[in-house]
Structure 1
Amino acid sequence: MPVIVIASSKGGAGKSTTAVLLGTELAHAGATVTMLDCDPNHSLSLWASKNKLPKNIETVSDVTESSVVKIIKQHDDDGRIVIVDLEGVASRMVSRAISQADLVLIPMRATILDATIGARSLALIAEEEESLGREIAHAVVFTMTRAIRSKQQNGIETSLREQGIRIVEPPLMERAAFSALFEFGGDLRSIPSQGNMEGAVENASSFARAVYQQLAETMK
């Protein structure tokens, strides 16, 4: 079943937040999800260590460059979605994980710096496509956005679309509830209230539906 890889060559772009929100929302919708923590910062494992792992989710840590492909294939079962949270550098592990992906998500904040460094992830995907002789579906996810989009974000989006790069809509907004997941564990429906919880749940749910739709189109 589908393998979704979360990749960005820049730290602090929101990879682990994207992975946790996507995994928990897909699990809430009934999917069985395995989440691989390949980031040396172990943010995903920190979230999972709170002993409030939502139903239908398992996490795997201590994934290495030599084992990442094997572990992905071990968990790539019928009815299961594998989500891989990668380290924030361009590395052999990142390339190996991308080679197994049905969809690569590239989180980035709406800044010129993030967009510039994010281009490295797009280059890695292009290299793997050339090596494998097939296309690897991918899309940009804007993270930590505001309700009113800046001119900078609009300009970056326009540039990406002109290059034929997909952008997941809606973006993930800057919300206290999203960061609180790493403090409390669980999902948006189990943590203590953090600001506008209804808005946070709707944002995360709509994001997960959009990703699932892109994945379904890719796997037709």
Structure 2
Amino acid sequence: MILTFASSKGGVGKSTTCAAVAAALALEGARVLIIDLDQNRTLARWSRRGVIEGLTVAAVETQKFGGFFRDSEASGAYDHICIDLPGTREVTLFKALARSDLVIIPAQASEPDLREALVVVGDIRDVSDTTGRQIPYRLLLTKIFPLRSRVTDFAYAELARNGLPLFRTALVERSAYREMFLNGQPPTVTEPEKGAGAEITALIAEMRAIVNGPAELLKAG
């Protein structure tokens, strides 16, 4: 799978989600490449805190993305490529979207986050029109409070009103996501069958169902 994590707004959990998903795939035995295009190099720093077998993290300058991606994909060295985009709208965004099997758009349950998510959705639709290929995408609600609130009710209502596809799985505000960047351990290691680990496992099942079609959807339940 080629998974792109996109948001034009910081603080929504884009890099966190990318790291957690990529690490979980590698721990399953897959060969996974993270292309870290974010200007903060969050994932490149994270990768130095601990080695996860099968996971490679490469910090790449945005202007070199196209060539690096083509070489990486053509090498056959990876089962999955996860792209952590910069938190800004620039030409690399469109290059990555065009190559994606699935675009993940993290957003908190707030009006500013949902507005920015709509901007990314507009970009995806533009790239789809230009390339003639439908690019699957889903919004991912992140940093959700465990109990339903008016804010989350607003978010779900806005998503429905705009007809935006949404992952069934949402990521709750949990310490395991923050601690991952301190200890280098992803949630599927620290909380393998509960909490954040269970959320990432469920999220990956949804991703596979979207990318691989109805047969995988039946497996995902």
Superposition deviation, residue 73 in structure 1: 2.3
Give the conservation status (yes or no) of the 8 Å contact 1:177–1:197: no
Amino acid at match of 2:153: N
Correspondence list, 1:174-193, <5 A: 174-188=173-187
TM-score, length-scaled by structure 1: 0.88
Check 1:185–1:166 CA distance in 2 against 1; reply closer, same or farther (3 A cut): same
Q: Which residue of 1 aligns with 2:98?
A: 99
**Two-structure CA RMSD over aligned residues (Å):** 2.3
From 185, 193, 201, the counterpart of 2:197: 201
Superposition deviation, residue 124 in structure 1: 1.0
Check 1:30–1:165 CA distance in 2 against 1; reply closer, same or farther (3 A cut): farther
Superposition deviation, residue 4 in structure 1: 0.6
Superposition deviation, residue 75 in structure 1: 2.2
Q: Which residue of 2 aligns with 1:56?
A: 54
Q: Which residue of 2 aligns with 1:47?
A: 46
Check 1:99–1:219 CA distance in 2 against 1; reply closer, same or farther (3 A cut): farther
Amino acid at match of 2:210: Q
Amino acid at match of 2:209: Q
Amino acid at match of 2:159: L
Amino acid at match of 1:35: I
For residues 156 and 207 of structure 1, the distance between their equivalents in structure 2, rounded to whole angstroms, comes to 19
Q: Which residue of 2 aligns with 1:72?
A: 69
In structure 1, runs of 5+ residues without a counterpart are none
Q: Which residue of 2 aligns with 1:216?
A: 212
In structure 2, runs of 5+ residues without a counterpart are 217-221
Q: Which residue of 2 aligns with 1:147?
A: 146
Superposition deviation, residue 212 in structure 1: 2.1
Kindly indicate whether structure 1 or structure 2 has the higher relative contact order, using CA contacts under 8 Å at least 6 residues apart.
Answer: 1
Q: Secondary structure at the match of 1:145?
A: coil
The percent identity for this pair of structures is 23
Give the conservation status (yes or no) of the 8 Å contact 2:65–2:92: yes
Q: Secondary structure at the match of 2:173?
A: coil
Number of residue pairs matched by the alignment: 214
For residues 117 and 17 of structure 1, the distance between their equivalents in structure 2, rounded to whole angstroms, comes to 18
Q: Secondary structure at the match of 2:40?
A: coil
For residues 103 and 28 of structure 1, the distance between their equivalents in structure 2, rounded to whole angstroms, comes to 21
Q: Which residue of 2 aligns with 1:126?
A: 125
Superposition deviation, residue 108 in structure 1: 0.4
Q: Secondary structure at the match of 1:4?
A: strand
For residues 151 and 213 of structure 1, the distance between their equivalents in structure 2, rounded to whole angstroms, comes to 30
Q: Which moved more, 1:12-21 or 1:155-164?
A: 155-164
TM-score, length-scaled by structure 2: 0.88
For residues 84 and 115 of structure 1, the distance between their equivalents in structure 2, rounded to whole angstroms, comes to 21
Post-superposition Cα deviations, 1:137-176, rounded to whole Å, max 9, x if no partner, equal 1000111111122233233223323444221121111111
Superposition deviation, residue 214 in structure 1: 1.7
Q: Which residue of 1 aligns with 2:219?
A: none
Superposition deviation, residue 21 in structure 1: 1.0
Q: Which residue of 2 aligns with 1:23?
A: 22
Amino acid at match of 2:5: I
Amino acid at match of 2:203: F
Give the conservation status (yes or no) of the 8 Å contact 2:188–2:200: no
Q: Report which of the two has the higher share of helix.
A: 2
